[in-house]
Amino acid sequence: MFEFLDKFMPGILESLLPRASSYAIEIDVLFDVITILVGFWFFLVLGYFFYLIFRYRQRDGHKAEYISGETHKQKQAIEIPHYLILVCDVAIIIPTFLVWFNIKIDIPPPEEEVRIVAQQWAWTFYHAGEDRVLGTDDDIVTVNELHIKNNTQYSYHLESRDVMHSFSVPVFRLKQDAIPGRVISGHFKPILEGEWDIQCAEMCGVAHGIMGARIFIRSEAEHNAWLAANSPNSNGAGILAAAEQILSQEKEDQNNG
């Protein structure tokens, strides 16, 4: 449905940044639908407003009329547009529910999983490694770099070690707050190869402004090559990853007082 609607839409968000996830198109189309409905009302009312200002400016020999706005006929000038706005609201609410359900509630069975841990002021990503299971020896742990495979359905599990953070990937149109004490799961499916920003979208302290990361979306072959090169079982990276884990665990212990 969204692919079909997209053909008739101006594509405002896509003109500003690419769509790199399967559901980006849904948010883009919803954005355009709202733009069209709201833009229609905005320019209609603003245009009429300027017309009235011009038409009823003070002129010699012209006296204002006495209109109370309390008679039934006069009130219709407001009541009829207000029912039309109600219709527009419903026209926005229905696709909103669809988009929200698809992105935030309905989590498809994942092909790959990734664990994301936010802390002041860095992102730690736990890639499942070649066995595709999180929490095993071959997990690849990186800081501020998320490596994922194109055209693959991912589930993510988002945690925070200290304060509120927010995992935001603008090219995915995805955002989710990380809450200390909770693991929040969601999903995405990349559809475009490339390298883009991840931003922290929730004020998280002094260095919030530099709490960025990069997302690397690669083809299956390139991604597998990256996995092999960084696998903790194949070279010294595993020790590094373990050291990283210990370091962040220590910070957590400090934070927990």
Partner 1 sequence: MAEVAHADVSHGEHHDDHHEPSFWSKYIFSTDHKIIGFQYMFTGMAMALIGGYFAYVFRMQLAFPGSSIPFWGTLSPAAYNSLVTNHGTIMIFWVAMPVLIAAMGNFLIPLMIGCDDMVFPRINRLSYQIFLLSAVVLLASFFVPGGAFGGAWTSYAPLSAKAQYNSTPFGAPLWLIAVTLEIVAFLLGGINFITTTMNARAKGMKLYEIPMIVWMIVIASILFMCSVGPLVAGAVMLLFDQTLGTAFFDANAGGDPVLWQHLFWFFGHPEVYVVLLPAMGIVAEVTCTFARKKLFAYKLILYSSIGLGILSFFVWAHHQFISGVDPRATYLFTTTTLLISIPVAIILFAFVATLYGGSIRFTTAMLFALAFTGEFLLGGVTGIWLGSSGTDIYLHDTYFVLAHFHYTFVPIAIIATFAAIYYWFPKMFGRKMNETWGKIHFWGTIIGFNGIFIPLFILGAGGQHRRIYNFQNYPDLAGADMQDMRVFATMSLIVMLVFQIPFLINFIVSIKRGEKAGNNPWKANTLEWVAPSPPPHGNFGPVLPEVYRGPYEYSVEGREKDYWPQNEKPESEAT
Hey, which residues between 26 and 45 contact partner 1 (CB under 8 A)? Answer: 26-27, 30-31, 34-35, 38, 41-42, 45
- Site for partner 1 contains 72 (CB under 8 A): no
57 by Cβ neighbours in 10 Å (0-12 / 13-18 / 19+) ranks as exposed
Please state the closest distance from residue 131 (CB atom) to partner 1, in A.
Answer: 30
Hey, which residues between 152 and 171 contact partner 1 (CB under 8 A)? Answer: 162-164, 166, 168, 170-171
What is the C-alpha to C-alpha distance for residues 179 and 163, in angstroms, rounded to an integer? Answer: 7
| Edge-to-edge order in the sheet of strand 213-218 | 145-149, 213-218, 194-200, 165-169, 174-178
- Site for partner 1 contains 59 (CB under 8 A): yes
Closer residue to partner 1 in complex, CB, 139/162: 162
- Phi and psi for 36 in degrees, rounded to 5? -70, -50
Closer residue to partner 1 in complex, CB, 25/241: 25
3-state class of 254 per DSSP?
Answer: helix
Contacts of 77 (CB under 8 A, 6+ apart): 69
- Site for partner 1 contains 180 (CB under 8 A): yes
- Site for partner 1 contains 17 (CB under 8 A): yes
- Site for partner 1 contains 53 (CB under 8 A): yes
Please state the closest distance from residue 110 (CB atom) to partner 1, in A.
Answer: 18
Interface segment toward partner 1; rule CB under 8 A; list 61-69, 134-142, 218-226, 233-241: 61-69
- Site for partner 1 contains 22 (CB under 8 A): no
Q: Are 244 and 124 in contact (CB under 8 A)?
A: yes
* Among positions 36, 46, 228, 246, the unique one binding partner 1 when judged by CB under 8 A: 46
Hey, which residues between 215 and 254 contact partner 1 (CB under 8 A)? Answer: none
Strands 112-119 and 122-127: antiparallel
Provide the residue type at 194 as one letter. G
Please state the closest distance from residue 197 (CB atom) to partner 1, in A.
Answer: 4
CA atoms within a 13 Å half-sphere pointing along the CA-CB vector of 29 = 19
Q: Look up residue 115 and give its two tokens.
A: 């664990």
Hey, which residues between 102 and 161 contact partner 1 (CB under 8 A)? Answer: 103-105, 120
Closest CA to 227 of 114, 104, 85: 114
Q: Look up residue 142 and give its two tokens.
A: 């990186």
Hey, which residues between 188 and 217 contact partner 1 (CB under 8 A)? Answer: 196-197, 199-210, 212, 214
Closer residue to partner 1 in complex, CB, 128/189: 189
Please state the closest distance from residue 86 (CB atom) to partner 1, in A.
Answer: 6
Closest CA to 238 of 130, 148, 138, 132: 138
